[in-house]
């Protein structure tokens, strides 16, 4: 019995020539990806790929009538016609509505609450352990040392620059004055007078910030409230807590921050 005859390999089907609109895309490596996207989009829409490519506009030469004109001019023909009118002044762009910081919902780190002890990472008080009194509508934290222990006054701090610890003081019976808010820390800018030629009449050196008598009084009152909460601790915890708040946070040789438990 004769072996079955081998089938001759069929000749590859000739590739269809691409239309002119797509032939230019196939000749360059940078536009080959674009050609593939056009083909995929055309396949999904079940249309001809050439219909998705914008056709360039054509130019037609027309005669201009009139005794003094008598020449010719070139006119664009097709969908991509040029603009016939250009405004003399730029129209102002309409700005999109922006949400102000006060209207956005504030999210805080896990564990940040009144009475929580945190470590500051920036500012002149960096490295100190302070107490969180409350969270403000602006998204900042109201903290204090207290001043009598570690010389950290009432101030605001962003939660990004604190480390939350596991130590917490019970402030359930402590009421922080309501007037200590974001407006309480706003500084008033004093304007400087200028003469007719625009030069400053009174040239003063930049003055350092000094707390007012009201702020000093509020600091003393808040410190009393903090000491009352600390003294509620029993036994040695009271003395350990004062020593803990009065100490600095440091990383020494051989200490790995990612292994610490705060």
Q: Which residue has the tokens 């509505």?
A: 97
Identify the weakest region by mean pLDDT among 5-9, 119-123, 175-179.
5-9
Count the Cβ atoms, other than its own, within 10 Å of residue 149. Answer: 23
> Which two three-digit tokens encode residue 62?
């027309």
Least reliable range by pLDDT among 64-73, 106-115, 118-127, 134-143: 64-73
Fill in the DSSP letter of residue 158: -
Please name the residue that has the structure tokens 């990004």. 160
Does residue 141 contact residue 122 with C-beta atoms inside 8 Å? no
pTM of the model: 0.58
pLDDT of res. 16 = 61
Average pLDDT across the chain, whole number:
81
Backbone dihedral region for residue 58 (phi beyond 0: left; psi -120 to 50: alpha; all else: beta): beta
Mean pLDDT value across residues 106-129: 94
What's the confidence (pLDDT) of residue 42? 85
Q: What is the distance between the alpha carbons of residues 225 and 175, in angstroms, rounded to a whole number?
A: 8
pLDDT at residue 111 is higher than 90: yes
16-44 average pLDDT score: 74
Q: Which domains does the chain have, with CATH numbers?
A: 22-52 (no CATH), 116-187+212-250 (2.30.30.30)
Highest mean pLDDT among 36-50, 58-72, 139-153, 245-259: 139-153
CB 144 within 8 A of CB 154: yes
CA distance 58 to 63: 17
Residues linked to residue 72 through DSSP beta bridges, in sequence order: 63
Instruction: Look at residue 115 and tell me whether its pLDDT is greater than 90.
Output: yes
Strand partners, 168: 116
The region of weakest confidence among 104-108, 201-205, 206-210 is 201-205
Q: Assign 100 a pLDDT band (cuts: 50, 70, 90).
A: low
Which of 106-110, 185-189, 257-261 is predicted with the least confidence, judged by mean pLDDT?
185-189
Per-residue pLDDT, 82 = 58
For residues 112 and 133, is the Cβ–Cβ distance under 8 A?
no
Q: What's the pLDDT band for 96 if we cut at 50, 70, 90?
A: confident
- Here the contacts of 77-80 (C-beta below 8 Å, separation 24 or greater) are 79/54, 79/55, 80/54, 80/56
* CA dihedral for 78, 84, 90, 93, sign (positive or negative): negative
The owner of tokens 């040029």 is 82
Question: What pLDDT score was predicted for residue 155?
Answer: 94
Question: How many helices (H) and strands (E) in the chain?
Answer: 5, 7
Task: Report pLDDT for 86.
Answer: 74
Query: What average pLDDT score do residues 121-137 get?
Result: 94
- H or E stretch covering 132: strand 129-135
Q: Look up residue 40 and give its two tokens.
A: 């995929």
Strand 162-168 with 129-135, pairing: unpaired
Helix, strand, or coil (residue 59): strand
Q: What is the pLDDT of residue 73?
A: 81
Which residue, 172, 173, 187, 176, is CA-closest to 141?
A: 176
Q: Which residues pair with 130 in a beta bridge?
A: 118
Question: Residue 239: in which H helix or E strand, if any?
Answer: helix 236-246
pLDDT of res. 159: 95
């Amino acid at each position: 019995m004769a072996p079955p005859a081998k089938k001759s390999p069929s000749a590859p089907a000739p590739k269809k020539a691409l239309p002119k609109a797509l032939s230019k895309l196939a000749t360059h490596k940078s536009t080959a990806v674009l050609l593939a996207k056009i083909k995929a989009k055309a396949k999904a829409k079940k249309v001809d790929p050439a219909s998705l490519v914008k056709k360039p506009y054509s130019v037609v030469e027309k005669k201009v009538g009139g005794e003094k004109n008598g020449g010719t001019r070139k006119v664009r023909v097709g969908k991509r016609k040029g603009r016939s009118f250009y405004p003399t002044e730029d129209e102002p762009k309409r700005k999109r509505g922006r949400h102000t910081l006060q209207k956005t919902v504030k999210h805080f780190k896990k564990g940040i609450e009144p009475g929580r002890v945190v470590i500051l990472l920036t500012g002149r008080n960096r490295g100190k352990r302070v107490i969180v009194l409350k969270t403000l509508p602006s998204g900042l934290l109201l903290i204090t040392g207290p001043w009598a222990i570690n010389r950290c006054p009432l101030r605001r701090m962003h939660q990004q620059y604190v480390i939350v610890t596991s130590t917490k003081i019970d402030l359930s019976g402590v009421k922080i004055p309501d007037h200590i808010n974001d407006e309480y820390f706003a500084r008033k800018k004093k304007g400087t007078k200028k003469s007719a030629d625009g030069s400053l009449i009174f040239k003063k050196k930049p003055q350092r910030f000094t707390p007012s008598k009201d702020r000093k009084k509020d600091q003393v009152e808040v410190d009393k409230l903090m000491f009352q909460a600390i003294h509620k601790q029993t036994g040695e915890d009271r003395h350990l807590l004062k020593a803990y708040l009065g100490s600095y946070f440091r990383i020494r040789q051989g200490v790995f921050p990612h292994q610490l438990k705060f």
